[in-house]
Structure 1
Amino acid sequence: MFTTLKRDIQAALDRDPAARSALEVLVCYPGLHVLYFHRLAHWFWNRNLKTLGRAISHVGRFLTGIEIHPGARLGQGLFIDHGTGVVIGETSEVGEDVTIYQGVTLGGTSLEKKKRHPTIGKGVVIGAGATILGPIRVGDNSRIGSGSVVVKEVPPNSLVVGVPGQVIYRDGKRVPPSTDLEMTDMPDPAGKAIRCVLERLQELEKEVETLKKELADSHAPYAPPSRYHSPRND
């Protein structure tokens, strides 16, 4: 137990530059506290005391703002930084030395009682607000960008960004655009809609100006021809 605690504290010290001492991590880091709530809940869950496991998990969620189902399997060296809003589903599996930032969801996509949550490999970093859905695997040492939504397998040593998540780097090399979309090439439906509205607005403004001019011409006062004007010269 003390060896595991030491490793958990060291993970925070290694990966959070704001951590100043082991005592600070032990007292002030909810990401550390929730791990021990989870380990206790997981112990009861595996011994078929599932309601008690859920109750302990619920207390941990109330105190830390981090929800980890007691059925989830977490590796050693997991560091949950800040942690508020993190949700880890029942059949999730998280490898060793993983880093998870606030707002991350490891969610399911099925109502069937089977493996329906992600498997996260060793050394993975999951950015704030990222969502990983379904029984997919994120390969070892991959990085998931903040706000990304991942719904398909991620190879090891990859960088994933976007909605839906796309691999843009693999093994330190940029993935060709023909294989995966780059973030700059991804469609922006909101931006496209705004551009269409602006273009239509410009057209309407031109039509209004034309109508104003025609209306002004139709109401122009009648000007009689000059007495020096000769119709024969027309």
Structure 2
Amino acid sequence: MAFMFLRESIAAYREKDPAARSSAVVLFCYPGLHAVLWHRFAQRLWRANWTSLARFTAHISRWLTGIEIHPAAKLGRRLVIDHGMGLVIGETAIVGDDVTLYHQVTLGGTSLTHGKRHPTIGNNVIIGAGAKILGDILVGDGARIGANALIIKPVPAGTTMVAAAANALDRVRAKPCFDAYGTPCSEMAVDPLLRDIESLRAELAELEARVGRLAGARASRLEPAD
């Protein structure tokens, strides 16, 4: 089981990172993979009720990798943490399968209660560098969170959120694909703000044409007869 986890994790890194030239490079040089390996060990200690030792193990992992993952956090399969420095995953966070997280991502809590207070991340989600997802909210399957976005409300499945005050971005895709850093740069991505501006421009042009026609009709009625 451990070998299967390691093999599929390395394969996920090689698929999503063109800099991963070989499995050996991923195994020995990728702190994101190391952090997940440390987390699996710390989580076993946590579940065995050796909580202090589990926290100390997580502390060592943070010191070695720059990535902080609470031992109680639940991580899915084929998680890719790219770069990873400054990344934080809180105690009650749940991360699904085939998720990609970039550096300085925070899955944080906004409550002081001891219950569920951290985000739940669905499957096939990409969260860009510096994004902050706070509170007991759900980020749906296939969502994309752009760099530096602040998310404090649930994100529907398949939605892309961009900018610091995150806005929904319409996505038209013939088939699922991988967006590096969770921010699509293709021509198929339509910013709803730009879409609304173009709609207003079209309405303004139509109004100007109508005013021009009315002015022309009025002028023709006022012209003196020969």
TM-score by length of structure 1 reads 0.74
Report the equivalent of 1:81: 82
Counterpart Cα distance in 2 of 1:113 and 1:23: 41
Task: Give the deviation of 1:163 after TM superposition.
Answer: 2.6
Report the equivalent of 2:94: 93
Counterpart Cα distance in 1 of 2:196 and 2:17: 30
Task: Give the deviation of 1:162 after TM superposition.
Answer: 2.0
Counterpart Cα distance in 2 of 1:127 and 1:184: 26
2:53 corresponds to which letter in structure 1? L
Counterpart Cα distance in 2 of 1:4 and 1:17: 21
TM-score by length of structure 2 reads 0.76
Q: Secondary structure at the match of 2:6?
A: helix
Measured against aligned partners, the alpha-carbon deviations of 1:100-122 in whole angstroms (never above 9, x if no partner) come to 00110000000111100000000
Report the equivalent of 1:61: 62
Counterpart Cα distance in 2 of 1:132 and 1:62: 23
1:133 corresponds to which letter in structure 2? L
Report the equivalent of 2:157: 156
CA RMSD of aligned residues (A): 2.0
1:16 corresponds to which letter in structure 2? D
- The structure with the largest alpha-carbon Rg is 1
Share of identical aligned residues, percent?
A: 52
Report the equivalent of 1:5: 6
Report the equivalent of 1:22: 23
Instruction: Decide which moves more: 167-176 or 137-146.
Output: 167-176
Report the equivalent of 2:105: 104
Higher relative contact order (CA 8 A, sep 6+): 2
Runs of 4+ in 1 over 3 A off after TM superposition: 170-177, 181-185
Report the equivalent of 2:124: 123
- Alignment gaps of 5+ in structure 2: 174-187, 198-226
CA change 1:8–1:170 in 2 (3 A) is same
Counterpart Cα distance in 1 of 2:189 and 2:22: 38
8 Å CA contact 1:86–1:102 kept in 2: the answer is: yes
Report the equivalent of 2:44: 43
8 Å CA contact 1:94–1:119 kept in 2: the answer is: yes
Report the equivalent of 1:213: none
8 Å CA contact 1:66–1:85 kept in 2: the answer is: yes
